[in-house]
Amino acid sequence: MLYEAERQQVVDTCKEMAAKGLVVGTAGNVSVRLGDHVVMSPSAVPYETMTAEDVAVVDMDGNQIEGKYKPSSECPLHLSVYKTTGAGAITHNHAPASTALGLVVDEIPVSHYYSAMFGGPIRVAPYATFGTDELAENVTNALDGRLGALMSNHGAITIGPDLAAALDKLPYLEYICEIELRAMWTGRAVKVLTDEQMAEASSGMKTYTATEANED
């Protein structure tokens, strides 16, 4: 079986998203790029029964190479993102806060410094029917210079150099959306960080890692 480890990683990621309430039913999808091939979650297969053999392997033109089931209906979206960004992995979810916020805004302002993790204000891609080239183009444009975006009337997407990195950003994106919704609910103006404050936050995050204390 081609890419057995990566296909199992896709399965594990799908199950984790379901366990965390980031998807409903068989919604959402996950993929990993491996050179000219993409390992992608299958379409309409329940996460609780999904196996590595079910996961599809396609080329960059969408031709299926291996896998029991057809790839996700969002295959055009995944391929478009890979062709236009340096992403190595993609997660797409229908989490409640990010989906809800995408109904009422066109962009999330930098109201929390976590926005620096995504490259700045998080854009909302205009709605288009799932699985279409139009949606793929809209989301790809929203991801320009960003590591995450919302999809109007649909959900959210994160990208990263690998699947662990893309998955790690999901709870942060959902948190940003949740606090933005709560702030908007008050009816008061939402405070936004300045460019200088965001630059400082971005710089700080680059060195925000566990460091052992020096021993005397």
Q: Write the pLDDT tens digit of every residue in 135-151.
A: 999 999 999 999 999 99
Hey, what CATH class is 4-206 in?
alpha beta
pLDDT of amino acid 215:
53
Q: Cα 180–184–186 angle (5° rounding)?
A: 125
Query: Could you list the active site residues?
Result: 74
pLDDT below 50 — which residues of the chain? 216
Can you give the pTM of this predicted structure?
A: 0.94
pLDDT of amino acid 61:
97
Looking up tokens 């959402």, which residue turns up?
28
Question: What are residue 177's phi and psi, to 5 degrees?
Answer: -65, -40
pLDDT of amino acid 155:
97
**Where exactly are the structural domains of the chain?**
4-206
Q: What is the dihedral of CA 172, 175, 177, 180, to 10 degrees?
A: -130
pLDDT of amino acid 204:
87
| Nearest alpha carbon to residue 156 among 47, 55, 22 | 22
Q: Tell me the C-alpha to C-alpha distance, in Å, between residue 203 and each of 17, 70, 129, 167, 200.
A: 29, 42, 38, 22, 5
> For residue 194, what are the contacts with CB-CB under 8 A and spacing of at least 6?
none
DSSP 71: B
